[in-house]
Amino acid sequence: MSKVKDRLITIKFNADRGASMRWKFRPQQTEVKVAPGETALAFYTAENPTDNPVTGISTYNVIPFEAGQYFNKIQCFCFEEQLLNPHEQ
């Protein structure tokens, strides 16, 4: 896809977690504006505020569902088990 310079799309980020997950998990940016075809980076922070090691696995989704075909994830921590030691970020 070639970059379309005269139109910007706003991509919004959130971070939901299951009730049993004790991590603090948040996007470092709430949104980013990109032109179609442009590459952008998004960063998240995870923190284990507990006194015990905690392992988690992240997933991602795109809403509306139809927009997912236009996203090309180049690199992601998604779907990989992550271990955070006590109070590690």
Counted domains in the chain? 1
Answer yes or no: is 13 within a domain. Answer: yes
Answer yes or no: is 3 within a domain. Answer: no
Per-residue pLDDT of the chain (89 residues; tens, 9 = 90+): 666 668 898 999 988 888 888 899 999 999 999 988 888 999 999 999 999 999 998 888 888 888 888 888 887 878 889 999 999 99
Answer yes or no: is 61 within a domain. Answer: yes
Answer yes or no: is 2 within a domain. Answer: no
Answer yes or no: is 52 within a domain. Answer: yes
Does residue 69 sit in helix, strand or coil? helix
pLDDT of residue 67: 84
pLDDT of residue 28: 95
Answer yes or no: is 89 within a domain. Answer: no
Q: Are 46 and 56 in contact (CB under 8 A)?
A: yes
What is the CB-side half-sphere exposure of residue 21 using CA atoms within 13 A?
A: 16
Give residue 69's domain range: 9-84
pLDDT of residue 33: 92
Phi and psi at residue 72, in whole multiples of 5°? -120, 100
Answer yes or no: is 1 within a domain. Answer: no
Answer yes or no: is 16 within a domain. Answer: yes
**Most distant CA atoms of the chain, gap in Å:** 50
pLDDT of residue 3: 61
pLDDT of residue 73: 80
